């Protein structure tokens, strides 16, 4: 059993707490704290005041901030703007999933599903956009299912004409390509 003791000068009631998958970072409200190693104390991410994130992934590596993707830099203990595009219009209802150097951001509305798929080129410190998916005309909010390594994505739901619709995608990150797979009926 691990015991954690936290002393903080955060005032007010914090209603939103999150912790990264590996417990190296956590948030209290919009404030993010990071630990350099498993046996070191947590410190506030240095640009918490300027960094007002809307959505963050479960590893606390990638975040959406005002139409841009920001990435955590452990050396600087800060998030830095990493990718920006006018096509990046996701909101606080978006979801970010990451696995290794793979990243999928998606948003489900009452009648549509939108997703962007990226490869993080860590050697060149940039994201490559692999695919943009936009599906609409659903009767109610569609659902999304992702494979654990983010190589497959399924969008399914009932279309406005009452039929079940399923779209199945395969992402080849090494070739930066997307294939639409035939889903069995």
- Asked if pLDDT for residue 7 goes beyond 90, the answer is no
Residue-wise pLDDT for 122-134, tens only, equals: 788 889 999 999 9
pLDDT, position 148 = 96
Q: With cut-offs at 50, 70 and 90, classify the pLDDT of residue 1.
A: very low
Q: With cut-offs at 50, 70 and 90, classify the pLDDT of residue 30.
A: confident
Q: How far apart are CA 132 and CA 107, in angstroms?
A: 12
Q: How far apart are CA 90 and CA 55, in angstroms?
A: 9
Q: With cut-offs at 50, 70 and 90, classify the pLDDT of residue 54.
A: confident
Q: How far apart are CA 23 and CA 38, in angstroms?
A: 8
The residue count of the chain comes to 185
- Asked if pLDDT for residue 37 goes beyond 80, the answer is no
DSSP3 helix / strand / coil % (the chain, rounded to 5): 0, 50, 50
**Which of 3-7, 64-68, 155-159 has the highest average model confidence (pLDDT)?**
155-159
Domain ranges of the chain: 16-84, 85-185
Q: With cut-offs at 50, 70 and 90, classify the pLDDT of residue 20.
A: confident
What is the chain's mean pLDDT, rounded?
Answer: 85
pLDDT, position 13 = 61
Q: Find all residues with CB under 8 Å of 94, minimum gap 6, and list them.
A: 54, 55, 64, 105, 106, 107
Q: With cut-offs at 50, 70 and 90, classify the pLDDT of residue 103.
A: very high
Instruction: Provide the CA 8 distance to its chain's centre, in angstroms.
Output: 27
CB 32 within 8 A of CB 60: yes
Residue that wins the pLDDT comparison between 86 and 133: 133
Q: How far apart are CA 156 and CA 145, in angstroms?
A: 8
- Asked if pLDDT for residue 100 goes beyond 90, the answer is yes
């Amino acid at each position: 059993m691990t015991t954690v003791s936290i002393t903080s000068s955060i005032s007010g009631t914090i209603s939103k707490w999150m912790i990264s998958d590996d417990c190296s970072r956590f948030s209290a409200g919009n404030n993010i704290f990071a630990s350099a190693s498993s046996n070191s104390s947590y410190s506030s991410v240095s640009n918490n005041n300027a960094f007002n994130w809307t959505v963050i992934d479960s590893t606390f590596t990638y975040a959406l901030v005002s139409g841009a993707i920001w990435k955590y830099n452990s050396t600087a203990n800060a998030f830095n703007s990493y990718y920006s595009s006018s096509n990046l219009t996701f909101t606080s209802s978006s979801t970010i999933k990451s696995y290794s150097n793979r990243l999928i951001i998606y948003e489900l509305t009452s009648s549509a599903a939108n997703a962007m798929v990226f490869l993080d080129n860590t050697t060149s410190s940039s994201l490559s956009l692999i695919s943009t998916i936009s599906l609409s005309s659903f009767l109610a909010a569609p659902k999304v299912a992702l494979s654990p390594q983010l190589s497959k994505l399924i969008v399914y739901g009932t279309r406005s004409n009452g039929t079940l619709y399923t779209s199945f995608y395969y992402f080849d990150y090494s070739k930066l390509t997307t294939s639409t797979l035939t889903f069995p009926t």
